[in-house]
Every structure is written in C-alpha cells, then in structure tokens.
Structure 1
C-alpha cells in the first residue's frame, strides 16, 4: 500500500474545512442484507468460472453522528461482512498446484470504514465530503479432493476519499442518496439508495433499499493481483434522529 503523507492530509483538511457549515445534532443507524455477486480474477483464478463463487447474502451496518461544532468533522462508521464459497476446478494458487478434478474455494472479505467528513446543506439537498480509512480483513482458502490446500490472508488498511449527496423529496418521507468511497483507480465503493421514513417525528424508523458496487483493482492487499467487482441489491432498516 502506498502511504498518504501527513503533509498531504494536512493540506487537504486546510482546503476543505473553511467550507464546512455547522450541523445540527443528529445521528443515524442502519442494518441490512446485501445480496452480492463477485466476478473477476484473483491472481490467475477466475473467481466465478474457475472457483465457482456465486451469489451470497451478506450483512452490513452503518452509523453516523453529526454535531454543531464548527470545523470539527462528523463521524461515520460502516461495516460489511462478506463470505463466499464454491466448488470448481482451480489448477493452482500461489505456490500450490491442485491435482484433483475438483476444488473447494472459500473467500471472506470483511470491511470496516471509518470516515471523517464535513457537510453543508441547501434546501432539500445535503452534501458531505471527507477522508477516511477502509480496513480489509479476510482470507482465501482453496482445497482439492486430495487435501492439497493453499491459504492467503487479505489484510490491509487503505486510505479513501469520501463524497455523498442527499435529496429529500418535498412533502414525502423519502430521501434519495448516493455516496462513493475511492482510492483513485485502485478501489471504488459506490452506493445508490432510497430511504422511506415509516415514522416522521422524533426517532424515525425507516426502511432503505438500493444498489452497491465495489471495484477492486489492486496489488496493495498482501501483494495479490486483484481485479474484482462485487455488486448487488441491498435492503435494511434504519433509525434516524
């Protein structure tokens, strides 16, 4: 992973913080399921055709707090737990060759995002922008019917930029939003969603649904050559006040 210098971070913060508007005190929390389908390659392996990895239901959660303190960033935390398994015909992985006609692959790719951001609001519209870190924690294990096995961890912390926009529909308890977390061309995590507030006062209970896409094109994660796309629809419940 290429480190982001302290000087670069300080410069970025010095540029964006004067634009920040103070928020009112607010917070939110959400949990749900993301129906994901991975595709692409991991080293020399096509994870769909060779490894047989298919669609899975994976859990996610997020929480944020906005506050009225000027120039102090707001905080958002996100978590995804991803696990995939499949049966295929992988010939080799890293230094291990598989002699059997059938291989079993298991991949986990859990992620935790910690974001510091500032925001400003216009009538019906809000924009957020900031910086953060994405911690990737997982592994890949491939085993054949002759008990040959290869295991590789997938652990790294990546610096990311964060942008978000929200649109509240007038006279309706519906909020449309989009956000992206990115590390140039090596990583992108983009979400489009709609939230419907079932209750519209005090602690708002709601439901959300949308589409999320992650693109990983990197050798930063344990020096593996990863060219992978993970996408699918999601739905969950929210509490916002």
Structure 2
C-alpha cells in the first residue's frame, strides 16, 4: 500500500510540474557505501551480529514553488540492507524463537523507510539557502535470525539448503526468529547550502532528527556538489559526501537497536 502511495505521489509531482512553469522539480539519488556497527535484539538482550559493510542505493524527488504560504514537498526512500553472523554466549530470544547458547546464527537486517517532508525556504539567494520543516518517516523493517540446519528423525536432506524430505514432501527445518515492523515517526527536517563564489562548487548539509522520546533517530549528511550542466532546460549536479544514520529503537514492535550506519556516498541531482 505504501509503494502505491509513493508511486501516486510521484505521479502527482510530475503532473504539477507540467502544468506550472514556475515550479521546480528535483530528482536525485545516491550510491552509499554504508558500514554498520552496534547491537540489536530484544529488550534485555542486545547482540553484536558483526553486520557487514554494504552498498546501498537511495533516491528522492522534491518540488519547490514560489507560493509563500504553501510548503515545498520532498519524498525520499532509503534502504539499509545488510547481513551478519555471531555465536551466542548465552540463550537468546528473538521473534518468539529461543536460540540456545553456543548456537552460530546468521542475521539478515533489512530496514527501509520513506520520508514524507514538507519545508519552507527561510533563505534562498545565489549564495546561501536554508530550509526548515518536518518529516514523517515510514519504517518497514524485516529482521531475521536463522540458526543452522537441524534435521529431524526420518528426514532426508536434499539439494535445497535447509530443507529435507519427509513423507514425500519438502519441509524447511531451519530455526528462525523474525521481527517485522511498520511504524510512523515524526522528525525535524533541516537543509542548507553555501555556494562557493566564482566556482561551480557548493557545500551542503541536510538532516532529519526524531521528535519523539521513544526513539532516538538521526539521519544527516554533508558534502560537496559540483554543477556539471547549467542550461535553460535544467541543471545537473554531481555530489560527493558522507552520511550517518543512527537508530536507537526502544520497543519498535519489540525491536531494540543501538546501530550506526555511516560511509561515503556519490550521487547526482537533476533540477528542471
């Protein structure tokens, strides 16, 4: 349902741009080499699963207009998808499954979110801009902990990993604990850009910060933007920067985290 809403919003943005010449449309994306560190689990047991460094792809669309009373709109999509593994030193519970001590498990950590932001441009001139507004972050999490295969009696292993055949049927026998979350979190949105005089280079900073006490979330980036193309049809910029996402969840559908994702990104922004 959220994907349908996201697609419908994008369509509305494009339609608005086609009908109003004074409206500016921004399309952008990033390739981000994120390195994960920290722990997650349930309330009394937070574990370091040695999450791997992974490449993520993020993108956004924004629309700005000259109407002073109406806010500008920005929608961005981020995915944090990584894996890891560890050996438990004590009994561990996750997603209604209990894993014994000494068990070696694989973790599949996938958190994606869409930010729906509205903001106002407090300053906007040829040298400096500053935006402030609010966001609603829509989380869609899927975290799975899987133990090793544990074949049961009279079950014959087959070529499919973690499956066997019993009574002529293939069954999965790997112990898995899984937590799915679906929650909306309000956040403060800030963005600023400073154009270096007599160059095509600008310095930018952007961030979202949680406004609720249950969770401590921050997502910010700083970097350089280089204007590669400037024409009557539009502009095209290349960006290089560093991004940090910090997630401290307190009982997000029984999920607790103290995690950081950080690393260098390369991106591009088109303005029409």
Assess same fold via TM > 0.5.
Answer: yes
1:139-218 matches, within 5 Å, as 139-145=142-148, 146=150, 147-184=174-211, 186-202=216-232, 203-218=234-249
Which runs of structure 1 show a deviation greater than 3 angstroms over 4 or more consecutive aligned residues? none
Q: Is the 8 A contact 2:37 2:50 kept in 1?
A: no
| TM-score normalized with structure 1 length | 0.83
Equivalent in the alignment of 1:4: none
Structure 1 residue 220, shift from structure 2 partner: 4.9
Structure 1 stretch 36-45 or stretch 109-118: which is displaced more?
Answer: 36-45
Alpha-carbon distance in 2 for matches of 1:63, 1:35:
21
Alpha-carbon distance in 2 for matches of 1:96, 1:195:
47
1:135 corresponds to 2:138: yes
- Do the aligned partners of residues 170 and 178 (structure 1) sit closer, same or farther apart at CA in structure 2, a change above 3 Å counting? same
Structure 1 residue 123, shift from structure 2 partner: 4.6
Structure 1 residue 122, shift from structure 2 partner: 4.2
Q: Which runs of 5+ in 1 are unaligned?
A: 1-23
Structure 1 residue 165, shift from structure 2 partner: 0.8
Structure 2 counterpart SS, 1:233 = strand
Equivalent in the alignment of 2:87: 89
Post-superposition CA distance 1:12-67 (Å, at most 9, x none): xxxxxxxxxxxx632211122111111112132333xxx23110001100111110
| TM-score normalized with structure 2 length | 0.74
Alpha-carbon distance in 2 for matches of 1:28, 1:217:
31
Equivalent in the alignment of 2:17: none
Q: Is the 8 A contact 1:31 1:238 kept in 2?
A: yes
Alpha-carbon distance in 2 for matches of 1:216, 1:149:
24
Aligned length: 215
Structure 1 counterpart SS, 2:52 = coil
Q: Which runs of 5+ in 2 are unaligned?
A: 1-21, 151-173
Structure 1 residue 93, shift from structure 2 partner: 3.1
Alpha-carbon distance in 2 for matches of 1:123, 1:33:
28
